[in-house]
Amino acid sequence: MLNPKTIRADFPLYTEHPHIVYLDSSATALKPKAVLDALDGYYRIYSANVFRGLYGLSERATAEYERSRDVVAHFIGAQSSDTVIFTRNATESLNLLAYSLGNRIIQKGKRVVVSMAEHHANFVPWQQIAMKHGAEFVVVPCDSDGKVELHDDASIDKIVTKDTVLVALFWVSNVLGSVNDIAAITKKIKQKNPNTLVVVDAAQAVTTFPVHVTELGCDFLAFSGHKLFGPTGIGVLWGKKELLEDMEPFMYGGDMIERVSVTESTFAQLPHRFEAGTPHIAGAIGLAAAIEYIAGVGVHNAHQHTQKMIKHALTGLARFKHIRILGSSDPTKRVGLVSFVHDRIHPHDLGDILSKDDVCVRAGHHCAMPLHTHEGIAASTRASTSIYTTTDDIERLLAGIKKAEQILL
């Protein structure tokens, strides 16, 4: 088990704000010094563009940028680093996929499937493409534990038809904290229709579980660097090579071309055909540093710690008679985040009172409005833990809720 107080020494924000209670890591994780040093190293020591210069600075920048791709590929168990596409975030990764792949395969008479609990980034692109082409857009509900109802043969038979071209699912819900068994679901989908493509939003999963894309069996996987202790503005789309090679570019411009003439253009090989223009070089380098940092901590150790913290939080929240937990109250059936509703206090009011005591939580619909509408609520409060979360942090959250009740009830 890791020691979060020791871990905090790696995160300069705690030096600047020693009294902060940061319970919003599902929105963005704090950044360790190793990541900040990697960013500073690029900008201060070898700041140059990649692939364009024959001088030393550019060659080093290029080498570090491509090394970062290798680090990501190893981290997710990809067989080839050229299947790793750098984007701005998981949202851009999924939109790239919807534009380049979705516009081609999602047509009238076809079916697209998502879950009720998807983040808007894995819901709206598929909804809009389906509407544009007149395809059927099917939203699958979640069970009482927050898992998508695609676990048995009966549900698969109902949802996955010969016309189902794509199923897009979360691995970990950013609201419910629930975990889909992606490998098992994908296997059942492929057994029913081998041509159905499976897209996985892994933004909330990459700090929680080891990622092995070949074992998951999915066709595409997306995540953001900033939830993995990396910089903002860098994300990843992984896809099966044969599928990526068959996709049209998402953007046109520099570095994604092979040849341009006044009459036609041809495009670069993977992965560069999807990385037009100057990329976020520092972001990729910082992401590699973040992956190496979490590897040093141990993903298993991180998961054990956040499970311990969320168990403590669930126990404490259960003592409030006006609070309802969204998703399962069993800590073994969820990861280290919890969203809840107070039936007398609006989440924004609760978040404001907590902020006055330096307790940082998220209040709103968490980019999952269909789920909140289904639950009959407009918003919820979310507390999310990480490797630097302490039991004192949880106690201050609970004390803040009690204070809010004393003020507002």
Query: 């106690």: which residue's tokens?
Result: 395
CA distance 384 to 169: 21
Question: What pLDDT does residue 130 have?
Answer: 98
Q: Is 265 helix (H, G, I), strand (E, B) or coil?
A: strand
- Residue 205 shares a structural domain with residue 308: no
Terminal alpha carbon distance of the chain: 39
Other C-beta atoms lying within 10 Å of the C-beta of residue 26: 26
Lowest mean pLDDT: which of 149-158, 343-352, 377-386? 149-158
DSSP 272-300: GGG--SS--HHHHHHHHHHHHHHHHH-HH
CA distance 326 to 251: 39
Mean pLDDT, range 335-344, rounded to an integer:
97
Position 262 pLDDT exceeds 90: yes
Mean pLDDT, range 345-356, rounded to an integer:
98
Active site residue 142: no
- Residue 64 shares a structural domain with residue 200: yes
Question: What pLDDT does residue 214 have?
Answer: 96
- Residue 48 shares a structural domain with residue 144: yes
Domain boundary among 294, 309, 325: 294
Position 52 pLDDT exceeds 90: no
- Residue 350 shares a structural domain with residue 209: no
Mean pLDDT, range 214-235, rounded to an integer:
98
Angle at 175 between CA 218 and CA 298, to 5 degrees: 60
- Exactly one of 142, 218, 360, 367 is catalytic; which is it? 367
Domain boundary among 294, 310, 327: 294
**Domain extent for 314:** 4-29+299-408
- Residue 246 shares a structural domain with residue 313: no
Q: How many domains does the chain have?
A: 2
Question: What pLDDT does residue 163 have?
Answer: 98
- Residue 347 shares a structural domain with residue 372: yes
Mean pLDDT, range 26-48, rounded to an integer:
98
CATH label of the domain that carries residue 195? 3.40.640.10
Position 367 pLDDT exceeds 90: yes
Spatial CA neighbour of 334 closest among 115, 201, 146:
146
Question: What pLDDT does residue 1 have?
Answer: 78
- Residue 122 shares a structural domain with residue 186: yes
Kindly report whether the global pTM for this prediction surpasses the value 0.95: yes
Average pLDDT, the chain: 97
- Residue 334 shares a structural domain with residue 199: no
Residue type (1 letter), 348: H
**Tens of pLDDT along 234-250?**
999 999 999 999 999 98
Q: Is 147 helix (H, G, I), strand (E, B) or coil?
A: coil
Other C-beta atoms lying within 10 Å of the C-beta of residue 144: 9
- Residue 283 shares a structural domain with residue 303: no
Mean pLDDT, range 207-212, rounded to an integer:
95
- Read off the pLDDT band of 211 (50, 70, 90): very high
Residue 140: C-alpha distances to residues 113, 126, 150, 188 (Å)? 7, 14, 8, 15
CA distance 254 to 181: 40
- Residue 264 shares a structural domain with residue 393: no
**Tens of pLDDT along 143-192?**
999 999 998 899 999 999 999 999 999 999 999 999 999 999 999 999 99
Angle at which helices 281-297 and 299-317 pack, to 10 degrees? 80
Question: What pLDDT does residue 151 have?
Answer: 83
**The dihedral sign for the CA sequence 305, 307, 313, 316:** negative
- Residue 308 shares a structural domain with residue 289: no
CATH label of the domain that carries residue 331? 3.90.1150.10
Spatial CA neighbour of 224 closest among 27, 12, 65:
27
- Residue 264 shares a structural domain with residue 356: no
Domain boundary among 245, 270, 294: 294
Residue type (1 letter), 42: Y
